[in-house]
Amino acid sequence: MAQTFTDMPLELLREYRPALTAPDDLDAFWDETLAEARDAARPAVLTPVDGPLRALSVQDLTFTGFGGDAIRGWVVRPHGDEVLPAVVEFIGYGGGRGLAGEKHQWASAGYVHVIMDTRGQGSTWSVGETPDPHGSAAAFPGVMTRGILDPREYYYRRLYTDAARLVDVVRTLPGVDPTRVAVTGGSQGGGLAIAAAALSGDAVAAVMPDVPFLCDFPNAIVRTPSAPFTEITRFLAVHRDAAEDALRTLSYVDGAILARRIHAPALFSVGLMDDVVLPSGVFAAFHALSSTDAALEEYTYNGHEGGGYRHWLRQVAWLDARFGLA
C-alpha cells in the first residue's frame, strides 16, 4: 500500500472532470459488437456442483460471450426456488472465477451470486478456466496491449462483451428476478461492472464498482506508477509512433466515457492512497455518471484494497434498500 496520497488533493479530486472525447462511432461500435455476440449465443448450461458448502446451492455455469466463445462462471444461491435478486461479480486483473463455493458472501446475504470467469486470465492470484482463443499483434506481457492498435481487435472489446452477455444470461436464469440485477467487482472487476452497466441499459438495476480500473486512460498511463497501466506505457516506449492509435482504441473502453451511459443507482469506492488505480480515475468515472442516485465512499488511508469487508457491509445495506430487502 502507498504511504501517502498518490494523486491530487481531495478538494481537486471532488471536482475532477477530465475532457475525454468519445469516438464518433462509440454507440454503433458497441451496438454492432453486442448484436454479433447475441446472434452467436447458445443456451447457457448449469451443472450442480457437490461440495462442503451445504447451506447454499453451487452451480457451474457455461454461457456464450464474444464471438460465441464459451465462458465459465459460478452461480451460488440459497437453496429453494424462491425468485431472488442477483449480484453479478467480475474479477480483478489476473484473476479467474476461483474454486467452486470460494465466493459465497452475497448468497449468504440472500442474493443469487453469479461470478464470471475472465477469459485468458486466472493464473496470477485466483484460478480461471476460460481461454481467450483470439490472438493479437505484438503486445507487452499481460493483456492490456493485446490488439491495442485496433478497437475491433482489442482484448477488452472481448471481455466487455462477455460481461454484457452475462447480464443477458442472468436475467433468464431460473429463480432470478430480471428487474433486480446488480453488477459489482473490484479493480478490473469494477471497470467491468461499469462496462456491463453502460452496455446493458436498463437491464442493470444497480452498479457497485470498487476502486475501478480501466478509467481515464490518457491521465492514468502517464501518472500511474504501478502495473497494469504501466503495460501500456512500456508498450508505447517501444512502439513510439503508436500512441495516437492506442489512445483511440482505449477511448472505446474507457470507463470514464462509458459511465455517461449509466442511469442506474451507483455506489463507488476509492482508496485515496491507491497507486494501482489512481483516485483521479475513479472520480472521473463517478462524475461521468448520468445516475441521479449515486454515492462514492472515500477510504482516506487505504490503497488498492479499498474498504475491504467494511465496504461490503455498506454495499449490502445500500443494495438491500434499493432492491427492497431492507
Express each pLDDT in 243-284 by its tens digit: 999 999 999 999 999 999 999 999 999 999 999 999 999 999
Percent of the chain past pLDDT 90, that is, above it, reads 96
Identify the active-site residue in 7, 216, 274, 275. 274
Identify the active-site residue in 126, 187, 200, 280. 187
Return phi, psi of residue 199, to 5°: -90, -10
Q: For the chain, what are the domain ranges?
A: 10-321
Cα Rg of the chain, angstroms: 19
Whole-number Å distance between alpha carbons of 305 and 174: 34
* CA-based end-to-end distance of the chain: 35
Q: How far is CA 263 from the centre of its chain?
A: 17
- 304 catalytic? Reply is yes
Q: How confident is residue 4, by pLDDT bands cut at 50, 70 and 90?
A: low
Which residues, 6 or more positions from 309, have their beta carbon under 8 angstroms from its beta carbon? none
Q: State pLDDT tens for residues 37-75.
A: 999 999 999 999 999 999 999 999 999 999 999 999 999
- The pLDDT of residue 298 is above 70: yes
Q: Which CATH class is domain 10-321?
A: alpha beta
Q: State pLDDT tens for residues 63-117.
A: 999 999 999 999 999 999 999 999 999 999 999 999 999 999 999 999 999 999 9
**Is residue 117 classed as helix, strand or coil in its secondary structure?**
coil
- 108 catalytic? Reply is no
Closest CA to 256 of 12, 3, 43, 19: 19
Whole-number Å distance between alpha carbons of 109 and 314: 13
- Beta strand 294-299 pairing with 266-271: parallel
Identify the active-site residue in 104, 287, 304, 311. 304
pTM over 0.85: yes
**Is residue 106 classed as helix, strand or coil in its secondary structure?**
helix
Q: State pLDDT tens for residues 127-149.
A: 999 999 999 898 999 999 999 99
Whole-number Å distance between alpha carbons of 174 and 234: 46
The answer to whether the annotation marks 93 as part of a ligand binding site is yes
Supply 212's cell numbers: 475501478
- 177 catalytic? Reply is no
